[in-house]
């Protein structure tokens, strides 16, 4: 029975996507902490600054291999710096995080499909 394995480029891309998902999870945690702080009526300025530091690292990770997803993350960074109501900012941040997560998961599936190599077992060589 032949085995399925990823080639080198696919492995590197999946590793980048997994790291990006981890960083996105951190951003998501900060966004939800921001939401809780707004609900309590506290000062959420510190959390906005933390988000401003986290998102560019995600953009930098994704830019070399996944430019369009990096552009989505950069748009999320613009949402953080935009003025207006904190409730509107929170809604846009939640939507941006969900969009990024979906894009990363779909891209991971696509990478698996495109970079899967079928290997034949040593005992099943066709006759010459």
Domain ranges in the chain?
3-115
In this prediction, what percent of the chain has a pLDDT beyond 70?
91
pTM over 0.75: yes
The 10 Å Cβ neighbour count of residue 89 is 21
Q: What is the distance between the alpha carbons of residues 112 and 20, in angstroms, rounded to a whole number?
A: 16
State the pLDDT at residue 22: 96
Q: For 64-119, how does the pLDDT look when each residue is reduced to its tens digit (9 = 90+)? A: 999 999 999 999 999 998 878 889 999 999 999 999 999 999 999 999 888 888 77
Q: What is the distance between the alpha carbons of residues 121 and 32, in angstroms, rounded to a whole number?
A: 49
SS3 112: helix
What is 3-115's CATH number? Answer: 1.20.120
Q: For 91-100, how does the pLDDT look when each residue is reduced to its tens digit (9 = 90+)? A: 999 999 999 9
Phi/psi for 34 (5° steps) reads -60, -45
State the pLDDT at residue 8: 85
The two structure tokens encoding residue 42: 């506290």
């Amino acid at each position: 029975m032949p085995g399925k394995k990823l080639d080198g480029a696919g492995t590197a891309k999946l590793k980048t996507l997994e790291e990006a998902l981890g960083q996105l999870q951190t951003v998501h945690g900060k966004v939800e902490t921001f939401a809780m702080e707004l609900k309590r009526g506290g000062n959420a300025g510190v959390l906005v600054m933390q988000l401003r530091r986290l998102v560019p690292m995600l953009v930098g990770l994704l830019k070399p291999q996944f430019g369009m997803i990096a552009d989505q993350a950069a748009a999320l960074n613009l949402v953080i710096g935009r003025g207006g109501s904190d409730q509107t900012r929170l809604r846009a941040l939640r939507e941006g995080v969900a969009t990024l997560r979906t894009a990363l998961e779909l891209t991971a599936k696509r990478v698996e499909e495109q970079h899967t190599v079928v290997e034949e077992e040593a005992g099943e060589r066709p006759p010459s």
